[in-house]
A and B are shown apart, each in its own frame.
Chain A
Amino acid sequence: MNKLLYILFFSVLAVKAQTPLSSSEATALKKQVQEQAQKTQTMTVDFVQLKHMDFLSNDIETSGNLSFKKPNLVKWQYLKPFRYSVLFKDQTLYIDDDGKKSDVNLSSNKLFGQLNNLIVNSITGDLFQEQDFEITYFKVADGSEVVFIPKDSKLKKYLSQFHIFFSAQAYVSQVKLVEPSGDYTSILFSNRTVNKPIADAVFTH
């Protein structure tokens, strides 16, 4: 009987893998992430994006790489299964759809601007604005998970919450954006290179 209780106890623990961070652990994580963000001048990283929709048999997988240069140049380049890139630069979103170029003015499109900020901040990890989000911190295998619930009602319509997973070294390893319907987009990062020069051409439209 004791053995059974013992097994039950540990099974419950195993299922409940998300343990909240104590406030001092959360503060330490924030500090570590912000220090990393401050040190990061440039970054390139590969990504795999999975779009999950409940009615589909499989998630839709796309992949490519991402380049970041301080203060706010970001380029997402999708390479598989199609070529497509978006460049966030000077309040404008430059799109290259396999050679067809277009742009979107972010200052006239508040939502896109907000999403851009989210993206920049989630890559650098410098994203702990308590005034904009309800934030909770968890311990997970190999690092931490931070859950953000937007306070802005307009943003909430698109995004009910998003999760950022940090590695033990406080780098962003995964971002998960959850829609109000429960469908979500997961972006998994790998092969990170930090503070190596990036050719200007990468950020040219």
Chain B
Amino acid sequence: MRYLLISITVLLVGCASYPKKQKLTVLDTGKQALSIPYFSNPETDYVYKAGIDVFDNHFSGLLIVKKTDENTHRVVFTTEMGSKIFDFSFQGNLFTINYIQDDLNRKLLLKILEQDFRTLVCENPTIAKGYTLENNSVLEGNINGETHYFYLDGTGQLVKTVFPKKGKASITYSFSKINSDIAREIIINHQSFNLKIILKSI
């Protein structure tokens, strides 16, 4: 019986939601909205030097993001020497592959890339709830049907987005060195497997 209780407790803790596990306190401030400015200016060419570490391999290139329309972002990855590796468009929920190199045209990889860059360029996620954690506020919202948590610092600036799985952070997007609505450094970290994308604005 005792073992059963322990097992159930472990199971319950194991299944606890992300806010519970992270000890977030619900904030009752009514309906909240979030506007993420980092890729929102249609006048700006957002160009980043990108380093990708996957398991023990290192790849690099340039990530280029442009808001081409009210609801559309273009996301292109090239080598430093200029060859295009992939070229995607995100328009609302729509995802279009304009180009991808043959050897990278794999379903699983495309799914990861779509998720990562959709979250990155999303400007107005639908916010459902607000929480506090120490001095920061955390908003629970939705991007393309998936729950995400948005961590804001004391000034209301987005510093981290978390995509959870089984109550734990599965992917984190960290924004730092923020200047004039541009995050000069962005790190996308997949905790569930060894993949880290480091973007430095150039």
Contact residues of B with A, CB < 8 Å?
43-45, 47, 49, 51, 57-60, 62, 64, 66, 68, 74, 76, 78, 80-84, 87, 98-99, 101-102, 200, 202
Would you list which residues of chain A between 171 and 204 have a CB under 8 Å from chain B?
177, 179, 181, 183, 185
Question: Closest approach, in angstroms, between the C-beta of A62 and any C-beta of chain B?
Answer: 7
**Is A100 in the interface zone, CB < 8 Å from B?**
yes
Closest CB pairs A-B (n = 10): A185-B82, A81-B202, A97-B60, A56-B45, A82-B49, A51-B82, A102-B58, A100-B58, A84-B80, A55-B74
**Is A95 in the interface zone, CB < 8 Å from B?**
yes
CA distance A199 to B64 in the complex (A): 36
Q: Which of A57, A95, A177 contacts B82 (CB 8 A)?
A: A177
Chain A interface: which size bin? 20 to 34
Q: Are B81 and A53 in contact (CB under 8 A)?
A: no
Q: Are A57 and B43 in contact (CB under 8 A)?
A: yes
**Is A60 in the interface zone, CB < 8 Å from B?**
yes
Q: Are B66 and A56 in contact (CB under 8 A)?
A: yes
Contacts A51-B62, A58-B45, A60-B64 given; 7 further ones with Cβ under 8 A?
A: A49-B82, A55-B74, A57-B44, A60-B62, A81-B202, A82-B49, A84-B80
**A53: which B residues are within 8 A, CB to CB?**
64, 76
**Is A31 in the interface zone, CB < 8 Å from B?**
no
**B80: which A residues are within 8 A, CB to CB?**
62, 78, 82, 84, 86
Q: Are A86 and B81 in contact (CB under 8 A)?
A: yes
Q: Are B60 and A95 in contact (CB under 8 A)?
A: yes
**B81: which A residues are within 8 A, CB to CB?**
49, 76, 86, 185
**B74: which A residues are within 8 A, CB to CB?**
55
Would you list which residues of chain A between 151 and 166 have a CB under 8 Å from chain B?
157-158
**B76: which A residues are within 8 A, CB to CB?**
53
Q: Which of B43, B44, B51, B84 contacts A179 (CB 8 A)?
A: B84
**How would residues 85 to 109 of chain A score, 1 for a CB under 8 Å from any chain B CB and 0 otherwise?**
0100000000101001010000000
**B98: which A residues are within 8 A, CB to CB?**
181
**B83: which A residues are within 8 A, CB to CB?**
115, 158, 185
Q: Are A84 and B82 in contact (CB under 8 A)?
A: no
CA distance A51 to B202 in the complex (A): 14
Between-chain CB contacts (< 8 Å), 15 pairs: A49-B82, A51-B62, A53-B76, A56-B66, A57-B45, A62-B80, A97-B58, A100-B51, A102-B57, A102-B59, A115-B83, A179-B84, A181-B84, A181-B98, A183-B84
Question: Closest approach, in angstroms, between the C-beta of B63 and any C-beta of chain A?
Answer: 11
Interface-central residue, A78, A97, A102, by most chain B CB under 10 Å: A97
Interface-central residue, B59, B62, B83, B202, by most chain A CB under 10 Å: B83
**A97: which B residues are within 8 A, CB to CB?**
51, 58, 60
CA distance A197 to B44 in the complex (A): 44
Q: Are A84 and B60 in contact (CB under 8 A)?
A: yes
- Which chain B residue lies CB-closest to A187? B82
**A78: which B residues are within 8 A, CB to CB?**
80
